[in-house]
Amino acid sequence: MSASTITAPASRAPRGRGGAAQSVRDSLVVARRNLIRMSRIPEMIIFGLFQPIMFVVLFSYVFGGSMDVGGSTSPADYREFLMAGIFAQTVTFATAGAGAGIADDMHKGLIDRFRSLPMARGAVLTGRTLADLVQTALTVFVLAIVALLVGWRIHEGIAKALGAFALLLLLGYAFTWIGALIGLSVRTPEAATSGGLIWLFPVTFVSNAFVDTSNMTPWLRHIAEWNPFSATVQACRVLFGNPGVSTSSAWPMQHPVWASLLWSLVIIAVFRTLAVRKYRNAA
C-alpha cells in the first residue's frame, strides 16, 4: 500500500503564523540581521557621512555669501537656512542605498530563501527599512554636530527640535519604501543605485531646500511648494526657528508640520503596499 504525497507549488511561500505579533518579531529579527551586517562593514556608514558633510561645507562657504535669504545675504543666515534642506536631503538620499541593498539580496538569492520560510510576508522589507532608518538616524546625529560647528543653531527649544528630527526620519523612512520598490523591480544593485538617485535630484533641488522658492518662475514655484520634500524642509525651519520661513499662501507652506506628516504617511501607505505586493511576486 503506497501513500500519496502532495507537494506544494514551489512558487508559494509558506505563511507565517501569529498575526501582528509574529510580523513584528519577524521584522525585528530581519532588522537585527541587517544591523549586524552594517556593523561589520563600517565603511558603509563612513562613506555615507561624507556626502552630506561636503554639501554643508560647499554650500555654506562657497555659495553662502551670494544667497539671498529673506533680504539678507549674510553667510550666517544662509547656513541656518541651509541646514534644514541638508538634513532632509540626507535622509532621502538613503533611499538609493536601501534599494541597492534589496537588489543585492535579490541578486544573491537571499530574498528567495526568505520567501521560503514561514514568516510574515512584509517582514523582510520592514526589517530592512527599519535597519536603514537606524543608519540614517546615526548619519543625521553626526551631521547635526557638524552643523553646530559651522554655526547652525536652534532657536525654539529642544522639544521642537526633536520634533523636527522626528519628521525628518519619518520622511526618510517613507522614501525608503520607494527605494525598496525600486530594488525589487530591477535586476542588479547598480541599476537600483542609478534608479534610486535619478528621481531624487529633481525632488530635492526643485524645492525650498537650497533657495527661496519666491525667486522661481511661477509654475516651478507651485511644484516646489507642493513637493513633499519641501513640506518637511519648511516644517524643520519652523521648528528649529531658522530663517527662511515661507510667506507663500500654498497650504503645505502655511501648515508645514501637518503637510509633512500627511505626505510621509501617504507615501508609506502607498509604496509599502506596492513593495510588499512586488515582493510576493518576485522571482
Q: What pTM, to 2 d.p., does this model score?
A: 0.84
Residue 132 lies in a domain: yes
Residue 3 lies in a domain: no
Query: What is the dihedral angle through the alpha carbons of 168, 98, 281, 17, rounded to the nearest 10 degrees?
Result: -70
Residue 1 lies in a domain: no
Residue pLDDT tens, the chain, 283 long: 444 444 444 444 445 455 678 788 888 888 888 788 777 777 777 777 777 788 777 777 777 666 766 666 677 778 888 889 999 998 998 888 778 888 887 777 777 777 777 777 778 888 888 888 988 898 899 889 888 888 888 988 899 999 999 999 999 999 999 988 998 888 788 888 788 788 998 999 999 988 888 888 999 999 999 999 999 999 999 999 987 777 788 999 999 999 999 999 999 999 999 998 888 876 5
Task: Compute the distance between CA of residue 104 and CA of residue 189 in angstroms, rounded to an integer.
Answer: 5
Residue 4 lies in a domain: no
Residue 46 lies in a domain: yes
* Residues 227 and 175 sit within 8 Å (Cβ to Cβ): no
- Residue 261's domain spans which residues? 19-281
Residue 11 lies in a domain: no
Residue 276 lies in a domain: yes
Residue 81 lies in a domain: yes
Give the model's pLDDT for residue 56.
Answer: 79
Task: Compute the distance between CA of residue 251 and CA of residue 92 in angstroms, rounded to an integer.
Answer: 22
Nearest to 234 by CA among 168, 173, 175, 150: 168
The count of domains in the chain is 1
Give the model's pLDDT for residue 36.
Answer: 83
Helices (H), the chain: 19-39, 42-58, 75-108, 110-115, 123-149, 158-185, 189-198, 200-205, 218-225, 228-240, 251-254, 256-281
* Residues 84 and 239 sit within 8 Å (Cβ to Cβ): no
